[in-house]
Structure 1
């Protein structure tokens, strides 16, 4: 495309960073801040998903019910702004760039695993209506498209629990216990799942989802998030 035309289009329809949505230069997909976001390396800790140099699982008292958790980024720097815009500022289009990064991580870390389904952390009807969408579903949908594994809406919220934000690890586990169930008539027995969420903090939410699937006979549950605290 002619460079003058490109610049005119950029003036009226500027390119946006695929992660945080900030304006970027022509030809760029990421802004400088997102490009410098700390990334999680290959072969991280199975339990916490962090690089082994950051892992503190030896001090943990609980073993998660999932097999493993992976993510492309730490919840630091511009990733925090990206997640906040995605979740709280109606920027659902950011699911595309975030989901692509997650899909790359899934391919790299889970390449030898045959998933039967991708599923996602559910949201209550009340909260989803207020937000307009379930961010975990949007990410799961993008990952499903990228890696060719069918998407399954497996969970519903059994009750409206308080948000997990700003709660201690112990309170998070108590708060989420029994909050999810599998839809009636859904057969998950013997299936291997990839469970998607936007941010993993203590892992309580993902672990509870894995525990529910396990109770209905699922074979194994693996997890992926966009970022890990």
Structure 2
């Protein structure tokens, strides 16, 4: 009986081909478009309290105005503890959504299962984030976070560069690959925050500073976790003459406190 059911199912699929699923979660019947459930996850993120500097969703915010230091309290309201306690080399960072759920699944497929076509869906969403942030519209050139040569050979592509190409095309801005990674580093996922920062020191270089000198840079990466990678890249870009650096990532972690 199971054989005939399978045969019947295959016959139906031949006569009435099923619609392609959602590229993020695979939900069937979405005609290859991002489904309403995944879009709702992104909308929900945009409605959450987020750090004004790094853009990560914030949890555990508690304010008391009994001290009378209203400005300090407001600073803590709009900025996470990490951004308040550490100097940031970029002006702002924003993401499509939190690194969980459909976005985490999509980015995992994009990076590790080599489903490069997902850049065509993530890129326009990054462009949407750009248009919702007036400060970002000062951007003049798009720069991807580079991969080390060995990692590039292993993976076959730089996911940040694919995203950057989509963003540059959508915004009609030049794509600039002036920054390179000049030394191998340990995987960031296995390191604590301070170790991540040390791991990246002197890892990046701008080969042709003329391409970014005096210009506002849109720095593109796939995930903002602690901000160590984009922070070091922003420092290198600024030291090479970039006017300011704004960060756009497909997803971001959560800031606690």
**TM-score, normalisation: structure 1:** 0.86
Specify whether residues 104 and 32 from structure 1 end up closer, same or farther in structure 2 by C-alpha distance, changes over 3 A only. closer
Q: Give, in angstroms, the shift of residue 115 of structure 1.
A: 1.8
CA deviations on 1:80-104 (whole Å, 9 max, x unpaired) are 1111111000101001111111110
Encode CA deviations 1:178-211: one digit per residue, 9 max, x unaligned: 1100014644221110000000001111111110
Aligned mates of 2:23, 2:112 — CA distance in 1: 17
Distance of 2:15 and 2:98 partners within structure 1: 34
Q: Please identify the structure whose Cα radius of gyration is greater.
A: 2
Question: What is residue 121 of structure 1 aligned with on the other side?
Answer: 145
Q: 2:22 aligns with which of 17, 41, 61?
A: 17
- After the TM superposition, which residues 36-75 of structure 1 pair with which residues of structure 2 at under 5 Å, given as runs? 36-38=40-42, 39-41=44-46, 44-51=50-57, 57-59=80-82, 61-75=85-99
- Secondary structure in 1 aligned to 2:190? coil
The alignment's C-alpha RMSD in Å is 2.5
TM-score, length basis structure 2: 0.77
Alignment counterpart, residue 152 of structure 1, candidates 164, 176, 192: 176
Question: Do the aligned partners of residues 185 and 202 (structure 1) sit closer, same or farther apart at CA in structure 2, a change above 3 Å counting?
Answer: closer
Over 3 Å counting, the alpha-carbon distance change for 1:31 and 1:88 in structure 2 is same
Could you list the runs of 5+ residues in structure 1 that have no partner in the other structure? 1-6
Residue 231 of structure 2, aligned match among 204, 207, 214:
207
For 2:220 and 2:247, how far apart are their aligned partners in 1?
6
